[in-house]
Chains A and B, each alone.
Chain A
Amino acid sequence: MTAVDAVSVFLPARRVPIESLAAPLRMTEMQIRLFRRFHGLTEVRHDPDLSLSDLLRHAVDGLTALRDVAHRVRFVVYARAFPVVAPYPVNPLHDVCRAVGLGHAVAFTLTQQSCASALAAVDVAGRLLAAEPHPPGDEPLALVLTGEKAFTRDARFIPETSVFSEGASACLVSAHGRRDRLLAYAVAQRGEFDVAGGASPARFQREYRPALAEVIGRALARAGTTLADLRLILPHNVNLMTWKRLVKLIGFPLDRVLLDNVTDAGHVFCADAFVNYRTARDRDLLRPGDRYLVAAVGAGDGATFAAMVFEH
């Protein structure tokens, strides 16, 4: 069973109040007020002195568990919200893999599920590992990376919804680990909300929370568990209001959704799940046997709703 063995997160120290985004992003004062007061988004992490490779490198360097097992890493799966982040043929993924001694691994980017790509990457990593032959005692591992720069307007904010923070994460995945075992994964893709799909933004707004509730329900059913059994929900950090409304819809206590990072870290592209996992562990919020749910929504052109249930 796929398991998360270790997670590290890197967030730039430099905090930028969202008011300073108004001019470069051509946002009105009203839009800024909406983000701050209604959505709880007050600042983002943004450091122009750190490159994408720097972000990824910091995250990998912070994964101390990797040091003794790097030779067992067969796959590096880079989950990315934005499909293209460097001009062809620049390749930060392979630059970083070589720099950190993972040149021997098969490395690729998994994308086009927007911010839900991270959950797909964990699932794919686990499946590849389970199918990988190996000698006894030399169980293969995968490294799932996330990390993005807010390099263009589309990658800096989602109108009326969220603002992006820069950051990165590194996550060690095994096929049969014991730390955080993946019990179930559910995903729903809604390509009708793509630029060529024809469905309206208003319909997307109406169907957003029911669609997320549906995949949450499906993941719980596959895991053979219920909302009542969950110790925590680790959300995507899109904004506070979405989650306040969603917990009402599904009937889950708001204080068991780890929302602190919405304000403190912001929406860190695909890294939200790992940012929130790290916070949960650092605060000792998960006990052995606790079950928790990770939710992600990739919304840009097209939409992907995803949920995973883990047992700690």
Chain B
Amino acid sequence: MGTDLHLIRTVRREFTGPAVLLDDPVLRERADEYLTDLVRPYGLRVDAAARGQSYGEMAAELIGALVPADEPVDLLVLAFAVHDALPGRATTAYLSHVCPGTPMSFALCDQGSAAAFTGLRIAGAHAYRRALILVVEQSVLPYDPGVAVPDRHRAVALLLGDGPADGSARVTAVRQHADVGPDDVAALAAAELHALGAGRADVSVVLGPGLAGIRPPPGGPVTVVPPGQPSTGVWWALPDRLGDAVAPRVVAADYDPDLRYLCLLAAEPDGGRG
């Protein structure tokens, strides 16, 4: 990483109901036409009654809760795997508008659960004071994707800084391995977890749903994120572990079995604890 990454604060939210913007008949018609044309070549049909959430609405609420006006953000990254109910919208341009600092913003996708880790790597490669990673997933697609979709609309926002702050945690490693096959992931994950400190009594381990079958080295507490929230699961659990009094260092890992990415993150409290 080029820049020090410090996790300053996080906020997480669950949302219910569809996107409010879909109440606008013009936007609704545009979205329906877009989605119909999107799925037609694949022999799928749009269910006009299925109304999903908007990542713009979800993320804007998180920004309001997490970023005070006097803490301007320089970089905003929206990470998602399942698209939202307004798939043609340049949502991050809007999020930049509602975020203090009017940050440079873009979305990362087509990478499954690895996208949020990529966002952290990009933040680490930038010179910035504050970066905001928004990890989002919503649960309603208006067609049958043939695979599971998330159980709920959930979002997690990670506010990062280039130096320590009250209660912050320093991100000491972000690692990504591409093209990891299902037969290889257990050994590689075990080796990486060990290399990042798993097995020590003061190190908590958070395993994403793709690594539920992995047995980390014995040591600190282990949280296995239940299935159902493939993109946000690890990030939802992370703040709880970072607040642990006995094992405040955390190693988090996730595996996307479809796109074959194994990703890991290590963090420890700033200020010499642990």
Interface residues, chain A, CB within 8 Å of chain B? 78, 82-91, 93-94, 103-114, 117, 120, 124, 127-128, 130-131, 151-155, 187, 189-197, 298, 300-304
Contact = CB atoms under 8 A, between A and B. Distances in A.
Contacts of A120: 104, 106
Nearest to B109: A109
B93 A190 contact: yes
A109 B111 contact: yes
B109 A83 contact: yes
Contacts of B24: 195
A190 B109 contact: no
Given A83-B90, A107-B178, 7 more contacts: A83-B107, A108-B114, A110-B108, A127-B126, A151-B41, A152-B33, A195-B24
Interface string B76-104: 00100111001111111111111000101
Given A104-B178, A130-B2, A189-B96, A194 B42 contact: no
Contact of A192 (B90, B97, B258): B97
Interface of B: 1-2, 21, 24, 27, 30, 33-34, 37-39, 41-42, 44, 56, 78, 81-83, 86-98, 102, 104-111, 114-115, 118, 121-122, 124-126, 141, 143, 145, 147, 149, 176, 178-179, 258-259, 261
Nearest to B87: A84
Contacts of B121: 128, 131
6 contacts: A113-B106, A114-B93, A128-B121, A153-B37, A194-B90, A196-B56
Contacts of A127: 2, 122, 125-126
Q: Is the interface of B mostly helix, strand, loop or mixed?
A: mixed
A108 B109 contact: yes
Given A108-B108, A196-B21, A113 B92 contact: yes
A106 B44 CA distance: 30
A195 B19 CA distance: 13
B38 A151 contact: yes
A106 B93 contact: no
A73 to B, nearest CB: 11
A194 B108 CA distance: 19
A124 B118 CA distance: 11
A190 B89 contact: no
The 5 closest A-B pairs by CB, nearest first: A191-B97, A302-B93, A152-B37, A84-B87, A194-B94
A89 B147 contact: yes
A152 B34 contact: yes
B90 A300 contact: yes
A99 to B, nearest CB: 13
A106 B109 CA distance: 12
Contacts of A131: 1-2, 121, 124-125
Contact of B97 (A84, A194, A298): A194
A111 B93 contact: no
Contact of A112 (B102, B106, B114): B106
B122 A128 contact: yes
Contacts of A304: 90, 93
A87 B90 contact: no
A301 B92 CA distance: 10
